Structure 1
Amino acid sequence: MDSFDTAQKRKQLTWPVIALMDFVTVIGFDDIIYNFQNQGLAVVSDWILLLILFVIPYELIVGQLGSTFSNDGGGLSSWIRHTSGDKMGYITAWCYWVVSLPYLVDVANSTVVSFAWLFKGHALSDAEMSNWGFALLTALIFVIFIFFQHRFANTLQWLGIIGGGAMFIMTILFVIMTVVYLGEGRHIATQPFHFKNFLPTFNIKFFMSLGLLIFAMNGAEFIAPYVTEMKDGPKNFPKAMYMLAIMTAFLTIFGSFSLGVFFNAHHLPDDLKMNGSYYAFQAMGNKFGLGNFFLYLFIVTQALYMIAQLAILVDGGARIFLSDTAKRYLPRQLTKTDKNGLPINGYWLTTGICSVLLFLSATLPSVNDIFNQLLNLNGIVSPYVTGLLFWAFIKVRANQDKFNSEYVYIKNRTLALIVGWWCLIVTVTGATFGIIPIDAKFGSPTWIHMLILNIVEPLIMIGLGIILPLIAKWQRNHN
């Protein structure tokens, strides 16, 4: 049977296609909504600061690492393996794969929400669906998707192009309609609407939401395993990162400003994180006398976008997890591939772990609490693992005579190391403060419940990462 690494290749990918595929995993309209609820209009300044001080360096660092290790198909795990050894390569592969699971759950949750809006035309309420019903429907999405991925293995790049392109077009449309709305001198929902609203506030709430801000804009390295399938990958992969940075800047800055026009930033709905994107396009349609036209246009776009996210996250994550030396530390059943070279048992393991996370979070009081807690879990686990990317960059630049690259981010080694350490410190800080729940009143039963889940669920992921190598070792000793 062919290994995952030698499976049938897709057609060579161009850098604009890679940028659109990566855009799907990095940022979306929902990411703007999440942080708008946490910070209000001040999030515009937060986006600008993070773009300059974190996101642009981060994405160009990914560009250099992808160019340096362009012949490796494991992405971040390959980079760490080359710079820190085989065991760290496995740990990275496992961590990077497992922290993508809460995001997968979040995407599947959002898919359920999008279909609820499609068929009902309004937000999903607790009276219409129980917590357990919501969890079961989300799990069903995974099963259906794995069947789809198994049967239509070569549709990934088309899903990425359609999903990423459609979402970016919808965001541009939202911004354009906001400009038209303001040009007609219409009422702005946020009052008073002045410069002070946009000033950042560096208080405890900012640091509690920093992890989610980082999570909203990280994920660029997820596309790195596809650099081996690009046309002239070492040269063109960095171009994709530049295009991605421009798209991210446009979406976050102008999208957040536009939200302040249609929503009162001082009085936001409690379920904004779950339903805010739909409220936004519904409000825009009502303001222009077009009813639900924009709403349903967005619903279809959101469904395509979520399917594209599921496709790229599951496939890209499996490539990272099952490539390089990670196979030495895995039970052989997980490295088994089907006729299309897909790690089908790895997909089922993904579904199993995601279901455990779902059902643990389903013990919270409401569907909105489930959605918010699983979303915020991403702001804890994801930045911690992103820190490993900066560690790989630090190792590469500290030993730059050993690692050659066609593209070099910051020629001066000392300055490059300072930037690498800065990004590492920012990610660890954001992840640590993210453990504190931000969507419940401090000290309330729901707050305590969320805090426990924010600690227990990551421990479960770490525990599995320890158990699987022990099973693999036992299999080797008894083979």
Structure 2
Amino acid sequence: MDDLSSKNYISWPILTLMAFVTVIGFDDIMYNFQNQGMTVITSWVLMLFLYVIPYSLIVGQLGGIFNKEGGGLSSWIRGTNGEFLGYFTAWTYWAASVPYVVDSANSVVVGFGWAFTGSNKFQDTMSNAEFTFWTFLIFIVFIFIQRHLKNSMELLSTIGGGMMFIMTILFVVLAFFGLAKNGGHMATQPMTWKTIIPKFDLKYWSTVGMLIYAVNGCELIAPYVTKMKQPKRDFPKAMIALSIMTAFLTIFGSFALGIYFNAYHLPNDLKMNGSYYAFQALGQQLGVGKLFMYIYAWTSVLYMCALLAVLLDAMTRMLISDTGDKFMPKFLRKTNSDGLPINGYILTSSLSAFIMLLGVFLPEMNDVFNWLLNLNGIISPGVTCWIFYAFMRVRKNSAKYPSEYVYIKNDKLAYIVGFLLLAVTAIATILGITPQDVKQFSHTWWYELIINIVAIVVLIGLGAILPSIRRREEKYGIAFNKGQWIAILGIVIVSIIFNLWLGGTHLALRGLYIAIESIIALIVITMIGHKNPNI
């Protein structure tokens, strides 16, 4: 019997690979290279030892404790802090995925541009409105095809993810081969020890959130900890191996980027087009032209398309199913004959459209891409705070939460480690709200600061409002009557028209108007919500 059951065990090398796919990718290296240049090499070393390893081991213990509930983040908070905070964690986890989904759709548009034209001309000739239109069109297309191609897209996601991993390793290896072939000449000059030493100022600390965004996601493999034969021994092995692989990719990958890009003078559009520039430069150095760039472009399109389809389905289903009927309104949990949460898709699309609308007024398409990416670097680390908070609660009363695998046997020391990680993550989240990639205190800087705050308040605040809507359903049978729905929709439409009417208003003032609109709209909708829908 034991021999049969042992076939279902997951070995530590397999768990390492599963975790690696969720943690790091080529774009993560590129984004942080843009933020910090070659100094990011030191940042990666510090992150690996002071953050990635303890973070991964903490996830392992939490996954082992709450294995009967699937080991998900919301179940960890629910098990330590009760139902409502468990629901709110699920909501914030889902809300953090909205900018990520929009960012994925943006990447699909950019990827198609490079795949078809072999250059960035497609993006250069596109206005912000057109970029937003194509991004939203991709949303609609994937929602419609989701029910027909779901299984195919999951397969393509696996294939695309594997290809992306291979392309990343290939780039690092061939870059060093090209460096040797070229006599050791690098684009980054001078290249000394001082080149990789960060200046720990406010600008540096405001980019730490993007580093955390790059390496988080390990909690997705938590449910598999209990499927290991000897988790107490094998799980640490898997996490150490993960750290070694991540170290190789981030440190040598960042150094490889310094071979082709001058870290002292980086292109402004590196976050959006840097990956394509890198593979294009690699191909030219090795005498194969744009071959690697085209392979990477289609790999990126394949991966991002599949990822987008799976995210739209998986994240919506997770929210609707994980929050139950106590806090989530009934109309959002409504499914069609195929079990698809239609209204949940509408909510996802609506919030995604809202995020895109905030960015459409930025000066250039590159600004839209960078702002959205940096928004991920704020919200995603903020959600990671829940992990360390749950760990602190567990270690405060460890006898109540037994686990076969325990990270740090001393409860007090473990609690302090959890608190320090929570503090660092929270500070990085707050500092990340300050805009990146734009001139400090310019009109664009102030606009991005305001819409960062507005996006966070709306995404997180809506989760606080939904339980009260659910209580209205329980009390009156319906949340809103037809007239109230029309009034709410009218507020949204008037707000959009007003923003378009603002025209050439300075960005800073436009951002202030949007913030005021959001407050007024929230107050008016709240007033509507106090009225009995049956009257």
* Common fold: TM-score over 0.5: yes
Seen in structure 2, the aligned counterparts of structure 1 residues 87 and 364 have a Cα distance that, compared at 3 Å, is: same
Counting only pairs closer than 5 Å after superposition, residues 337-416 of structure 1 correspond to structure 2 as 337-338=335-336, 341-416=339-414
Quote the residue 1:33 is aligned against.
30
Seen in structure 2, the aligned counterparts of structure 1 residues 399 and 391 have a Cα distance that, compared at 3 Å, is: same
Quote the residue 1:44 is aligned against.
41
Letter in 2 for 1:362: V
Quote the residue 1:8 is aligned against.
none
Seen in structure 2, the aligned counterparts of structure 1 residues 106 and 419 have a Cα distance that, compared at 3 Å, is: same
Seen in structure 2, the aligned counterparts of structure 1 residues 148 and 255 have a Cα distance that, compared at 3 Å, is: farther
Pairing partner for 1:284 from 278, 282, 285: 282
Pairing partner for 2:177 from 173, 176, 180: 180
Counting only pairs closer than 5 Å after superposition, residues 268-307 of structure 1 correspond to structure 2 as 268-307=266-305
Counting only pairs closer than 5 Å after superposition, residues 459-474 of structure 1 correspond to structure 2 as 459-474=457-472
Q: Are the equivalent residues in 2 in contact too, given 1:222–1:316 (CA < 8 A)? A: no
Counting only pairs closer than 5 Å after superposition, residues 102-181 of structure 1 correspond to structure 2 as 102-124=99-121, 127-155=124-152, 158-181=155-178
> Offset of 1:399 from its aligned partner?
1.5
Structure-1 separation of matches of 2:20 and 2:148:
25
Q: Are the equivalent residues in 2 in contact too, given 1:73–1:323 (CA < 8 A)? A: no
Quote the residue 1:6 is aligned against.
none
Quote the residue 1:3 is aligned against.
none
- Alignment gaps of 5+ in structure 2: 1-7, 478-535
Structure-2 separation of matches of 1:127 and 1:274:
12
SS of the aligned residue for 1:335 comes to: coil
Q: Are the equivalent residues in 2 in contact too, given 1:95–1:385 (CA < 8 A)? A: yes
Structure-2 separation of matches of 1:138 and 1:449:
22
Structure 2 residue 57 is matched with structure 1 residue 60? yes
SS of the aligned residue for 1:67 comes to: helix
Structure-2 separation of matches of 1:361 and 1:242:
40
Quote the residue 2:481 is aligned against.
none
SS of the aligned residue for 1:35 comes to: helix
Seen in structure 2, the aligned counterparts of structure 1 residues 314 and 126 have a Cα distance that, compared at 3 Å, is: closer
Structure-2 separation of matches of 1:305 and 1:248:
20
Quote the residue 1:4 is aligned against.
none
Structure-1 separation of matches of 2:86 and 2:172:
42
> Offset of 1:319 from its aligned partner?
4.9
Seen in structure 2, the aligned counterparts of structure 1 residues 111 and 127 have a Cα distance that, compared at 3 Å, is: closer
Structure 2 residue 251 is matched with structure 1 residue 253? yes
Q: Are the equivalent residues in 2 in contact too, given 1:21–1:161 (CA < 8 A)? A: no
Identity between Structure 1 and Structure 2 (%): 54
Q: Are the equivalent residues in 1 in contact too, given 2:77–2:89 (CA < 8 A)? A: yes
Structure-1 separation of matches of 2:374 and 2:367:
10
Structure-2 separation of matches of 1:380 and 1:407:
31
Structure-1 separation of matches of 2:277 and 2:372:
21
SS of the aligned residue for 2:60 comes to: helix
Q: Are the equivalent residues in 1 in contact too, given 2:105–2:138 (CA < 8 A)? A: yes
Letter in 1 for 2:470: A
Structure-1 separation of matches of 2:208 and 2:416:
21
Q: Which deviates more, 375-384 or 235-244?
A: 235-244
Structure-2 separation of matches of 1:341 and 1:148:
15
The structure whose RCO (Cα within 8 Å, separation 6+) is larger is: 1
Pairing partner for 1:264 from 243, 250, 262: 262
Deviations 1:151-204 (CA, angstroms, capped at 9, x unpaired): 234456534432332122111111111221222224211111111111122111
Quote the residue 2:496 is aligned against.
none
**Equivalent pairs, count:** 467
Structure-2 separation of matches of 1:318 and 1:228:
25
Counting only pairs closer than 5 Å after superposition, residues 305-344 of structure 1 correspond to structure 2 as 305-338=303-336, 341-344=339-342
Seen in structure 2, the aligned counterparts of structure 1 residues 126 and 166 have a Cα distance that, compared at 3 Å, is: closer
Quote the residue 1:452 is aligned against.
450
- Alignment gaps of 5+ in structure 1: 1-11
SS of the aligned residue for 1:279 comes to: helix
Q: Are the equivalent residues in 1 in contact too, given 2:62–2:71 (CA < 8 A)? A: no
Structure-2 separation of matches of 1:352 and 1:297:
34
TM-score for the superposition, normalised by structure 2: 0.81
Letter in 2 for 1:79: W
Q: Are the equivalent residues in 1 in contact too, given 2:64–2:71 (CA < 8 A)? A: no
Quote the residue 1:84 is aligned against.
81
Q: Which deviates more, 316-325 or 44-53?
A: 316-325
Structure 2 residue 93 is matched with structure 1 residue 96? yes
Seen in structure 2, the aligned counterparts of structure 1 residues 82 and 156 have a Cα distance that, compared at 3 Å, is: farther
Structure-2 separation of matches of 1:89 and 1:318:
16
